[in-house]
Amino acid sequence: MGEAIVVTSGKGGVGKTTTSANIGTVLALQGKKVCLVDTDIGLRNLDVVMGLENRIIYDLVDVAHNRCKLNQALVKDKRFASLSLLPAAQTTDKMSVKPAEMKKIVDALKADFDYIIIDCPAGIERGFQNAVAGADHAIVVTTPEISSVRDADRVIGILEKEKQITPPRLVINRIRQHMIRNGGMLEINEIMDILAIELLGIVQDDDDVISSSNKGEPIAMTPSSKASQAYRNIGRRILGESVPLMVLDDHPGFFHKVKNLLGMR
């Protein structure tokens, strides 16, 4: 029986889709059977980031409304046999799927996959409710900006009320060392003081993330980049390993602080 993890944030454009694609890729690289589920109905793009757009035949809404079998809608990634995608529909709107239908689909996927990674749309309305309906765990993505942290806090408050979901864990995305150093961005400690949940990982702002997404190849496939390393570490932590945070910076003290946040010594 697999585990379903929803990737959410409240605010749009903070990196939910990027995080979903890369976590999925990393877990598949570790030999796990992974299914990515795009719940951003009407604004799907996980298929594009994964480079699987041209192979879509059926979608999530077709499955929910019994127009096809679940298996027929899954797009298999040609690069790894163990990675599949259940794409969102592009032509209908979020209201066309109900949370109960969503939960049924995720439950069915749990029988065949080790990990189901659910990419959540922005907002806290129906699309969000659909995305969390079948989830066992939650990853909240934020950037080091006040508005993003505020929305993450709102979403954490909602997730904490969902009894079937374990306490959410945090990914801080698009960190820019020089901006943090000169006070233009929130520090990781400040974010952790406010959100007060477990830190799963931090990912730098990296131009290669954007160019690799544009090529349809998540950055995690390019081992040399720093962001790729960050996603690999996140993947290992999901698998239960205790991995220290990377030193992002030659700045003394930073690594120590972050180690403390991760509960390491």
Ligand X SMILES: Nc1ncnc2c1ncn2[C@@H]1O[C@H](COP(=O)(O)OP(=O)(O)O)[C@@H](O)[C@H]1O
Is 241 strand, coil or helix?
coil
- Judged by CB under 8 A, the chain residues 147 through 186 that form the site for another protein are 150-151, 153-154, 156-158, 160
Exposure string (b/e) for 21-31, b if CB count within 10 Å is 16 or more?
bbbbbbbbbbe
- Subset of residues 193 to 222 that bind another protein, contact rule: CB under 8 A: 193-194, 196
Q: What are phi and psi of 92, to 5 degrees?
A: -100, 180
- The 174-213 contact track toward ligand X, x by CB under 6 A, reads x----------------------------x-xx--xx--x
| 148 interface partner picked from Mg ion, ligand X, another protein, none, CB below 5 to 8 A per type | none
Answer yes or no: are the C-beta atoms of 94 and 126 closer than 8 Å: yes
Phi-psi region of 15 (alpha: psi -120 to 50; beta: other; left: phi over 0): left
The rounded distance, in Å, linking the Cα atoms of 189 and 202 is: 12
- Rounded to a whole number of angstroms, the minimum distance from the CB of residue 15 to Mg ion is 8
Q: Which stretch binds Mg ion (CB under 5 A): 12-20, 23-31, 141-149, 189-197?
A: 12-20
The DSSP 8-state label assigned to residue 80 in this structure reads -
Three-state secondary-structure class, residue 81: coil
State in angstroms the smallest separation of the CB of 71 from ligand X. 26
In b/e form, how buried is each residue of 57-88, taking b as 16+ CB within 10 angstroms?
Answer: ebbbbbbbeeeeebeebbbebeebebbbbbbb
Binding track, positions 104-143, relative to ligand X; x by CB under 6 A: ----------------------------------------
236 binds another protein (CB under 8 A): no
Question: Scanning the structure block, which residue is given the tokens 């929910």?
Answer: 64
Q: Which does 227 bind (CB under 5 to 8 A by kind): ligand X, another protein, Mg ion, none?
A: ligand X
Site string for another protein, 130-149 (x = CB under 8 A): ----------------x---
Positions touching another protein (CB under 8 A) are 146, 150-151, 153-154, 156-158, 160, 193-194, 196
Residues lying near ligand X in the complex (CB under 6 A)? 9, 12-18, 173-174, 203, 205-206, 209-210, 213, 227
